[in-house]
Amino acid sequence: MSDAMLAVGTRKGLFLARSTRGGPFEVQPIQFSTVAVHSVAIDTRGATPRLLAGIEYGHFGPSVMYSDDLGDTWHEADHPPVAFPEKTGATLAKVWQLVPSPSEPDVVWAGAEPAALFRSEDRGVTYRLVEGLWEHPHRERWEPGGGGLCLHTIVNHPTDPEIMAVAVSAAGFYRTRDGGLSWEAANKNIRAPFMPEGQQYPEFGQCVHKVSMHPSRPERLYLQHHFGVYRSDDFGANWRDIGTSLPSDFGFPIAVHPSRPDTVYVLPLHADMDRTPVGHRYRVHRSDDGGAAWQAFSQGLPDEPVYSTVLRDAMTASDAGVFFGTRSGEVYGSRDDGETWSTVACHLPDVLTVRAAVL
């Protein structure tokens, strides 16, 4: 089996874990100690893997660091790598997402707060604002979610760089077919029950928590909403509810199996006012038929009551396995498609993001 890497960004540092030939993951000493790591990426496109970390220094502000030696040394651009042009009047608060493009070798995308999309053409060292989205006429009416007005999800078409989509909390899902020059809201049939009767299916304003896509079927999207779990078979033109058979359709992460586009994972929480796991047990729910039916898996997860949330970017599914991290600092992994679980790490700070890759 191949070597694998797990990257865990937390409220107080970054933790990297390595697995050799399918063996257990060994967690390395903390990096960026006391610094919040909101986003990580493991870019395996080149001959040498590159790690990216979106960090927040607190008083010194946010930045993006990169490493070409699997975390032994880190580097930063000579000037702020992600920054708003002066004409926008905006100031960067966080980098919520870092996504290497699957169709352009040196391109990396960054999602930011306040909600904006940035593009890098030097493999993640420096970035420029995508003005087509920033200047969208809806933007002035976007409202922040509980975590702020953030662009937290980037969905790239696997072969066509002109086609991509983003999710913004709490504005909804937007897509482009011209490389980011123009954007359209794509939230049809996503219900916003907090709106008045007759206005519960707005063009935008939905609180989307996460969106996931499998590269072999790019028209198929899965979406975890504040009030539902949805699926689209036409890249967001239409959505339909697939969460009715779940014990709760509230949650944050949603992830697609790396080789089976009909297999999707969620981790239900009780409700928006009770953000604890359903039944106070970690149970990962998996559907193998695109959301028609769901099955819960918990073997190897704690038997005792648990009360911690799993955030939107704290679950990932890759060729290295399925992993999730909790706000109480545990990381769990599965190498049999979620049927059994083991503890990868515990007693970490609040887990914000988890990524895994085969090296």
The string of pLDDT tens digits covering residues 249-301 is: 999 999 999 999 999 999 999 999 999 999 999 999 999 999 999 999 999 99
Residue 103's alpha-carbon distances to 39, 174, 190, 233, in angstroms, are 21, 20, 29, 21
Which one, of 272, 24, 54, 238, lies nearest residue 147 by Cα? 272
Structural domain contains residue 83: no
| 313 DSSP β-pair partners | 353
**Tens-place pLDDT, residues 157-205:** 999 999 999 999 999 999 999 999 999 999 999 999 988 899 999 999 9
Domain containing residue 174: 96-358
The predicted pLDDT at position 1 comes to 61
Query: For position 194, what pLDDT does the model report?
Result: 84
Query: Which residues, 6 or more positions from 52, have their beta carbon under 8 angstroms from its beta carbon?
Result: 39, 40, 41, 43, 64, 65, 66, 98, 108, 124
Low-confidence ranges of the chain (pLDDT < 70): 1
In a domain, 284, yes or no: yes
Is 169:206 a contact under the CB 8 Å cutoff?
Answer: no
Measured CA to CA, the distance from residue 160 to residue 145 in angstroms comes to 31
Assess if residue 24 is contained within a domain. no
Look at residue 302 and tell me if it is in a domain.
Answer: yes
The answer to whether position 154 is within a domain reads: yes
CATH number at residue 338: 2.130.10.10
Is residue 163 classed as helix, strand or coil in its secondary structure? coil
Number of C-beta neighbours around residue 67 at 10 A? 18
Residue 59 has what pLDDT?
81
Q: What is the C-alpha to C-alpha distance for residues 136 and 67, in angstroms, rounded to an integer?
A: 34
Quote the number of domains for the chain.
Answer: 1
User: Is 45 part of a structural domain of the chain?
Assistant: no
Record the tokens describing residue 173, joined without a space.
Answer: 């899902």
In a domain, 312, yes or no: yes
Can you give the pLDDT at residue 58? 81
CA distances from 43 to 46, 50, 101, 323, 356 (A): 8, 5, 9, 18, 10
Instruction: For residue 166, give the 3-state DSSP assignment.
Output: strand
**The pair of three-digit structure tokens given for residue 124, joined into one six-digit string:** 């993640």
Structural domain contains residue 46: no
In the chain, the amino acid numbered 57 is Y
**99 CB-near residues (< 8 Å, 6+ apart):** 41, 108, 109, 110, 111, 154, 156
